[in-house]
A and B are shown apart, each in its own frame.
Chain A
């Protein structure tokens, strides 16, 4: 279990970002997209690819059991934003494909077999899975259509529910 209790919010966000970055670096069609840690602010809209952003997770509850340290339940928003440098190439369909891949990733046991490398604090964890980090996926919902300002901009959000153990 690599997630640190006092840093659980940023650690979970880093782990999920590392997982998605790994897929983006190696697997088609993920390679057509770009992963962003946190909300994509103004300056990152120079990217020529669709953005997959990993927003800050929110703690939704605590799971207690006798004789053990409590686990926490969290929700994390993952978004797809087709915009920026390429003015939304692929259009709404590309955005829906990305959202579909996110939903499928977190709705399938394959999510536990992807190995990725992440640095939490001063320690680098090489080729670990989500399960090795103590994260269990309990569900994913969406995609929600998010209203945007520009006509050549498309945005969807998926919410993933997690149990984080320490």
Chain B
């Protein structure tokens, strides 16, 4: 006489939860990248929004941020674009302000005004904290435990 036993495990619930969390993470990452780009663009634009002065006159605050404006082209040349799901870029439109690089890094006759790298240094910690919060929140809403999933 043969003895047999059977054990059935239903993984459908686990699978549904896993799919839900995966989707939540991809949505959260998208939102986090958008937030990072928005925040950085805002800060860079702010760094470029100094007082106006006439062409041919010296800047009233040389070497200091915010960068003073003559035409305002550089102030209007801040752009951002999504590269892929996990990456975005904030940049200056070279066609609109080809002199941006000289303003940023300085020349022999002009002190640098690092409007981009200063914005990154200043906002990096805040952006990362906010992104981490957004991702954790979405995972939690999808029924997951962020510390188990992200190890944070």
**Contact: A59 with B121, CB < 8 Å?**
yes
Q: Does A109 contact B (CB under 8 A)?
A: no
Q: How far is the CA of A148 from the CA of B122 in the complex (A)?
A: 26
Q: How far is the CA of A114 from the CA of B34 in the complex (A)?
A: 45
- Whether A61 and B124, one on each chain, are in contact in the complex, defined by CB atoms closer than 8 angstroms, is yes
Number of contact residues on B: which range applies? Answer: 10 to 19
The distance in angstroms between the C-alpha atoms of A155 and B108, with both chains bound, is: 11
Give the secondary structure class of B's interface: helix
Determine if A110 is an interface residue (Cβ-Cβ < 8 Å). no
A79: nearest residue on chain B (CB-CB)?
Answer: B105
Size class of A's contact patch? 20 to 34
> Is B108 a contact partner of A147 (Cβ separation < 8 A)?
no
Say which residue of A39, A41, A58, A148 sits within 8 Å of B118 (CB atoms).
A58
Determine whether the beta carbon of B121 is less than 8 Å from that of A42: no
A62 partner residues in chain B, CB cutoff 8 A = 125
Closest to A150 in B: B108
Q: Is A75 part of the binding interface, using a Cβ–Cβ cutoff of 8 Å?
A: yes
- 0/1 per residue, B97-123, Cβ < 8 Å to A? 000011001111101100001100110
Contact B121 A75 (CB under 8 A): yes
Please measure, in the bound complex, the distance between the C-alpha atom of A132 and the C-alpha atom of B102, giving whole angstroms. 37
A82 sits at the interface (CB 8 A): no
A146 at the B interface (CB under 8 A): yes
Within the complex, the shortest CB–CB distance from B125 to chain A, in Å, comes to 5
Q: Which residue of B lies closest to A41 (CB)?
A: B111
Chain B positions within 8 Å of A31 at CB level: none
Q: Is the CB of B101 within 8 A of A39?
A: no
**Cα–Cα distance between A41 and B110 once the two chains are bound (Å):** 7
Q: A-side interface residues toward B, CB under 8 Å? A: 39, 41-42, 45, 55, 58-62, 75, 83, 146-150, 153, 155, 157
